[in-house]
Amino acid sequence: MNNKLLFQDLTDQLSESGKLKKKDTEEFLKAFFKVIEDSLFEGETVKIQGLGTFKLLKVESRKSVNVSTGEEFEIKEHYKISFSPDNTLKEIVNEPFSYLEPVELDGSSAKKEPVVRNIREEKDRFDEMIINAEEKEEEMEKKPDKPKGTPHNMMPQNTDDLRTPNKERKNETQQPTNGSQKKSEKSGGSKNSGSFFRVFLILIVLALAAWAILSNYSAKKENDHKLKEFAVIDADTSFEDTPSEDFETVIQDSLKLEAEIAAKVESLAIAEKNGGGKNLASKPSAIAKPTPVAATKENEAIKPKMTTQGSTGSDRVTFPVFVKLKQGEMLTVLSLKYYGHKAFWVYIYAANMDVIKDPDHIPLGTRIRIPKPDTSIINANDPDCVAKAKALQTKILSRKE
Amino acid sequence: MKTKDFVQKIQHNITVNPERSAELVELTTSIIARILGDGDALAIKGFGTFEVKKKEERVSVNPVTGNRWMIPPKLVPSFKPGTTLKEKIKTYSGHEQ
Contact A171, A158 (CB under 8 A): yes
Contacts of B89 in chain A (CB under 8 A): 56, 78-81
Domain with CATH 3.10.350 in chain A: 321-400
Q: How far apart are CA A144 and CA A134, in angstroms?
A: 16
Tell which of B8, B11, B12, B13 to mutate to test the A interface (max A CBs under 10 Å): B13
- Neighbour count for residue B73 (Cβ, 10 Å): 13
The predicted complex's ipTM stands at 0.87
pLDDT (0 to 100) of residue A242: 44
Residue spans in chain A of domains classed CATH 4.10.520.10? 7-97
Comparing CB atoms, the residue among A1, A10, A17 nearest residue B39 is A1
Q: Which is nearest to B50 in space by CA: B28, B73, B71?
A: B28
Q: How far is A326 from chain B (nearest CA, A)?
A: 33
Question: According to the model, what pLDDT value does residue A258 have?
Answer: 60
Comparing C-alpha atoms, which of B70, B47, B46, B75 is closest to residue B59? Answer: B70
Closest CA to A133 of A145, A141, A122: A141
Query: Per-residue confidence of chain A (401 residues) as pLDDT tens digits?
Result: 678 888 888 898 888 888 888 888 888 888 888 888 888 888 888 898 888 999 888 888 888 898 889 888 888 888 888 999 989 999 988 888 888 888 887 654 444 444 444 555 666 666 666 666 666 656 565 554 444 444 444 444 444 444 444 444 444 444 444 444 444 444 444 445 667 778 778 788 888 877 877 777 655 555 555 555 554 444 444 444 444 455 555 556 556 666 666 666 566 555 555 544 444 444 444 444 444 444 444 444 444 444 334 344 444 567 777 777 777 777 787 777 788 888 888 888 888 887 777 777 777 777 888 887 777 777 777 777 788 888 888 877 777 65
Q: In Å, what is the CA distance from B75 to each residue of A91, A93, A208, A268?
A: 9, 6, 63, 52
Q: What is the pLDDT of residue A309?
A: 41
Q: Which of B3, B66, B74 sits opposite A94 (nearest CB)?
A: B74
- Report the residue of chain A nearest B4, measured CA to CA: A48
Tell me the one-letter amino acid at A33.
Answer: F
Domain A7-97: state its class.
Answer: few secondary structures
- Fold entry, domain A321-400: Membrane-bound Lytic Murein Transglycosylase D; Chain A (3.10.350)
* A295 vs A262: CA distance, rounded Å: 8
Smallest Cα distance from A385 to chain B, Å: 23
The CA distances from residue A9 to A15, A26, B40, in Å, are 10, 11, 12
* Domains of chain B with bracketed CATH: 3-91 (4.10.520.10)
